[in-house]
A and B are shown apart, each in its own frame.
Chain A
């Protein structure tokens, strides 16, 4: 904060010297300072070191680390010597409460009350963030680590499971059918949602009016549609009346699942794209119109390229949601054991559904396959997400 006045004072000084240096000679900075010196001698002679506003004080670090050690040590004493507790959750909670207590006492030694409260809140906020990040890391790591038994086997990726009994070793059978099913279903869903979604978002921005407002409201409402209800809708409208049946048994298919996923993804993509398109600078569009371009060429050459990175992110985030969605697939696509390339006939399993089904088996081999499939799914989502980030970054650097 005290850095602010110093910059305010020095700023005019440097601007004043700028013409001087250019006028006399390219004498660089020493010359400049000698020019300034007579004007503001006290300030220019000893350039005030810029103060770090966010400096970490050594006392604070000591207080923090000390309290932490003290809390853990005290909790260990309580748990090991004094009381018959053995719960790790209890240990952590007890240590945390003790830490807050000790930290507070330590801080109040050399700070006033507002400062103590400030440090306490900072500690609580940081620990909450740490809890969330840690738990998330554990959730992801749990699937990845447990999946490591299935992942190294090549057949896990190259075979499907129709010749594999649940108790077979991991060197037999794999998830090829689920990967294929996932890719086909998400491709169909993308083929439906990307043109429809982006075009609708463009319409919301380019043709304002009563219809646009209605579409926006309905889309907003549809984001609330639980995915299982979307699945149930497709199940009852498409599958039950039109689905293939053999001897009265309903055969679900990948197409129905893809449509169900589309119904779920569409509102997400439209809303995200709508926001991105609304952020396109109006001056760019007006410049295009002023040059005589029509609406279509303005959209095609100005609006869409400007918003491209945002649109890509919107689509990929929608895709990630669609990939991970289990419930519509459960209702509409059915469980397959063999690789099925035809979305219109026969069941077609996707990765999340395979996971869901495999881990309900009592066989440890199937559970390991389930974990493996979950790990593969996570990796796919991660790759998609990273791609989206990279695309967004590259395009931003191009436009700016």
Chain B
């Protein structure tokens, strides 16, 4: 408006409105009614409360962890023991254990989640699709203690034969190699006690795999379903089979979702407590033999040790929890970045 009036007033100047004084943007909501003010205040307040709460968790964990970290120093990262009272503790064993369990879980969860996601988004009959999506969501809500029951009472015994077989015939693969130095069993010893194969990283990994598969699967399915229709039909029109279409359209478009979903599952797997704690027999050294008895995870150590702990021991647990938190944080951020990037890319190309 004002630009037009200026232009007409200085009519001799040929330059049109663009050169005129830039118009001040009128802000219609500068005077807000009291209800709006109250609402905005409350919304802001809740935002600040959440912010404060979440920041407090991180800050408090770091602060309380200081006591232990100051005493322990770099030994905290390299020690394979958990005896805080005698100042001999570290996360080398237990964090490695967490990572090994999570990696085992992802090893099984990735193909399962990928296959199920592909099946639901590409192969399932349309009528079944909705039910399957709801079912996967429901699976994500199954309490972890139920998986723990299954792992402890069923899978631990059911898997002995398979574990035995794997350690006999696949022992040449580094992580599947059984440790001999415990004196309990030799690799390939047919008389080895079955109990040597229970409570292992492998069993915990399978149980956790089942827990994280639904989450990974639903992220992947979401990504697959966003593959643009035009490209799909284009592939079919060029004579592609369904698999040809999936491989050349759906999978490239959903790649971010696959990676992101996997990493999200990895983050969940790292932090899982109860199911793991129920299944494994806890050890504090680095257990690099995933089929053998004995496994460890940071969260299981916390669950086991919190009660009998002194002030200093709790500080040590806090430090371990902080290390775990930082790790899941890094994994989660990586995942959400990858998912977000892939999604925006898909939109711009569609």
Interface set of A (CB-CB < 8 Å, partner B): 1, 54, 87, 89-90, 114-115, 117-118, 121-122, 124-129, 131-133, 135-136, 138-140, 142-143, 146, 195-197, 199-200, 202-204, 206-207, 211-212, 214-215, 218-230, 232-233, 235-237, 240, 263, 266-267, 270, 294-297, 299, 317, 320-321, 323-327, 330-331, 352, 355-356, 359, 370-371, 374, 377-378, 381-382, 385, 389
> What are 29 contact pairs spanning A and B, CB under 8 A?
A87-B165, A124-B115, A129-B115, A129-B116, A139-B146, A139-B150, A142-B150, A142-B153, A195-B46, A199-B43, A200-B47, A200-B50, A203-B46, A211-B48, A219-B54, A224-B328, A228-B271, A228-B273, A232-B306, A233-B57, A233-B321, A235-B314, A317-B137, A317-B140, A325-B143, A352-B145, A378-B143, A382-B138, A385-B137
With A220-B332, A232-B321, A355-B149 already in contact, the answer to whether A128 and B112 are too (CB < 8 A) is yes
In the assembly, what is the distance between CA of A330 and CA of B304, in Å?
A: 10
* CB nearest neighbor in A for B143: A324
In the assembly, what is the distance between CA of A390 and CA of B47, in Å?
A: 31
Task: Determine whether B157 belongs to the interface, using a CB cutoff of 8 Å to chain A.
Answer: no
* 1/0 contact string of B196-219 vs chain A (CB within 8 Å): 000000000000001001100100
B143 to chain A, nearest CB (A): 3
Please indicate the chain B residues that have their CB under 8 angstroms from the CB of A327 in the complex.
Answer: 273-274, 299, 303
With A122-B243, A326-B274 already in contact, the answer to whether A228 and B302 are too (CB < 8 A) is yes
B191 to chain A, nearest CB (A): 17
Please indicate the chain A residues that have their CB under 8 angstroms from the CB of B50 in the complex.
Answer: 196-197, 200, 215, 218-219, 266, 270
Please indicate the chain B residues that have their CB under 8 angstroms from the CB of A371 in the complex.
Answer: 149
Please indicate the chain B residues that have their CB under 8 angstroms from the CB of A331 in the complex.
Answer: 302-303, 306
Interface set of B (CB-CB < 8 Å, partner A): 29, 32-33, 35-36, 38-40, 42-44, 46-51, 53-55, 57-58, 60-61, 64, 111-116, 118-120, 122-125, 132, 134-135, 137-150, 152-154, 158-159, 161-162, 165, 210, 213-214, 217, 236-237, 241-244, 246, 267, 270-274, 278, 299, 302-303, 306, 314, 317-318, 321-322, 324-325, 328-329, 331-333, 336
B274 touches A356 (CB 8 A): yes
A133-B116, A215-B50 are known contacts; what are 15 more A-B pairs with Cβ within 8 Å?
A115-B241, A117-B243, A139-B147, A142-B154, A226-B273, A229-B61, A232-B317, A266-B53, A294-B35, A296-B36, A296-B38, A324-B143, A326-B274, A371-B149, A378-B146
User: What is the count of residue pairs linking A and B with beta-carbon distances less than 8 angstroms?
Assistant: 277
Which of A206, A266, A356 has a CB less than 8 Å from the CB of B145? Answer: A356
Please indicate the chain B residues that have their CB under 8 angstroms from the CB of A129 in the complex.
Answer: 115-116, 119-120, 124, 132
In the assembly, what is the distance between CA of A127 and CA of B116, in Å?
A: 9
Please indicate the chain A residues that have their CB under 8 angstroms from the CB of B115 in the complex.
Answer: 124-125, 127-129, 131-132
B42 touches A199 (CB 8 A): yes
In the assembly, what is the distance between CA of A207 and CA of B159, in Å?
A: 54
B38 touches A122 (CB 8 A): no
A374 touches B145 (CB 8 A): yes
A267 touches B242 (CB 8 A): no
Please indicate the chain A residues that have their CB under 8 angstroms from the CB of B210 in the complex.
Answer: 135-136, 139
Please indicate the chain A residues that have their CB under 8 angstroms from the CB of B29 in the complex.
Answer: 295
Please indicate the chain B residues that have their CB under 8 angstroms from the CB of A195 in the complex.
Answer: 46
In the assembly, what is the distance between CA of A147 and CA of B278, in Å?
A: 18
